[in-house]
Structure 1
Amino acid sequence: MAVPRHNYDPRRVCINPFPNISLGKHRRIIGIYLAGGLFALANWTFLDAAILSAHAHSPYGEPERPPPVHVGFVDWVPGLFSLLGMIIINLIDKDRVQGNEGFGDSRAVWRARLFLFIGFAFMAGGLAGSVCVLVLKYILNHFPEQYTYYGYANVSQNVALMLSAIVLWISQSVSTEYEYTLSI
């Protein structure tokens, strides 16, 4: 073991501790803006590939030979699934998933957790679908690198959408010091 025995805590998961980063009182706002930036980056990457595909020229410089591949409907489907999963995840009330606020109805907590699972399943399906499209449509057909970019853009879109949803979920779950709770 690389950690000296006197520094070892058996409750730790990782050998190397995570850095302690304190963002202060603005951590919720920073998280929300970071999630929005990831969302914009995801969609910009894929739209760049789609526009590039629409204006692609023949790799051989011959006008009668069209480009071998374009971004089609199959390429859009994984991103749509990830976007739908992100919407489902962020529409769920976080207190209901945890069972807080005395909702009383245990079925409501169960349904909220089920919808959370369905949202993450949509996102995982979108990511898996984008990897399948990349492999089956672009890599196995041995297209030049300028055309495999379309598949890599699709995968990066889905990864960024998933990270955006996770960052937004975490940042909205953090309470701020300016949050007041009124109870009667």
Structure 2
Amino acid sequence: MDEGRLWKFPRPAWLNSAWARSAGVYSAGALFSLAFYIMIDAAAWSKSLLNGSDVHVTFIDWLPLIFSSLGMLIINSVEKARLSADSFSYSGSGVAWKARVVLFLGFAALAGGMAGGVTVFVLKFVVRDVDWPMKTMGIENVVANALVMLSSVVLWISQNIEDEYSYNLSL
């Protein structure tokens, strides 16, 4: 076994293809749009006549999803090559640690959005003992934030797949 490998079993060959990369990007987009659809569905249902309570989706409910989306944007704007300080093309100006700090801030925003969604759900729906049909608005908020997190992971992995058309030039 090669000393540079982390896992015992090799990665499947079909995983390093342009098809897998495109499928990952499109599935990440589908998960992201599904997250916003779920949140818009909760907001539309909260203002409908079927909602017979005084609990509605407000701007506070949208804040966790905004932070999760901002974290996803930050995380997926950092290239994987920028994180390694081994390359001579990026060394000298401290790009690696700057990219790591930006990546940390993106993960913090993503985790903060998820934690905010759970906090809004607990404080607004569980503590106030809201009845079951109205409690689904809080559950949809948590599910939407979880889908944004999953979309971010899928997009990060699929963007960093090296397909057969990519090559690395090094001296």
8 Å CA contact retained: 1:39, 1:164: yes
Q: CA RMSD in A?
A: 2.6
CA contact (8 A) 2:45 2:51 kept: no
Counterpart for residue 172 of structure 1: 159
Paired with 2:118 and 2:16, the residues of 1 have a C-alpha distance of 38
Partner in structure 2 of residue 150 of structure 1: 137
Query: Given the superposition, is the C-alpha separation of residues 177 and 72 from structure 1 closer, same or farther in structure 2, using an over 3 Å criterion?
Result: same
Q: Deviations over 1:115-141 (max 9, x none)?
A: 000000000000001001101101111
Distance in 1 of aligned mates of 2:90 and 2:64? 35
Which residue is 1:161 aligned to?
148
Distance 2:51 2:26 in 1: 40
TM-score normalised per structure 1: 0.79
Aligned to 1:30: 23
Q: Does 1:110 align with 2:82?
A: no
- Cα deviation for residue 98 of structure 1 reads 2.3
Shift of 1:142: 1.4
Figure out how many residues of one structure are paired with residues of the other and give that number.
Answer: 163
Conserved in 1, the CA contact under 8 Å of 2:16 and 2:164?
A: no
Quickly say closer, same or farther: Cα 1:21–1:161, change in 2 above 3 A.
Answer: farther
User: C-alpha displacement at 1:97, in angstroms?
Assistant: 1.2
TM-score of the two chains, using structure 2 as the length reference: 0.85
- Of residues 84, 87, 97 in structure 1, which corresponds to 2:73? 87
Matched, 1:121 2:108: yes
Give 3-state SS (helix, strand or coil) of 1:91's partner.
Answer: coil
The equivalent of 1:4 in structure 2 is none
Q: Which residue of 2 aligns with 1:72?
A: 58
Sequence identity of aligned pairs in percent?
Answer: 42
CA contact (8 A) 2:51 2:134 kept: no
Structure 2 portions without partners, runs of 5+? 1-5
Q: Give the whole-Å Cα distance in 1 for the aligned partners of 2:38 and 2:14.
A: 31
Partner of 2:48: 55
Shift of 1:86: 0.6
Question: Runs in 1 of length 4+ with deviation above 6 angstroms?
Answer: none
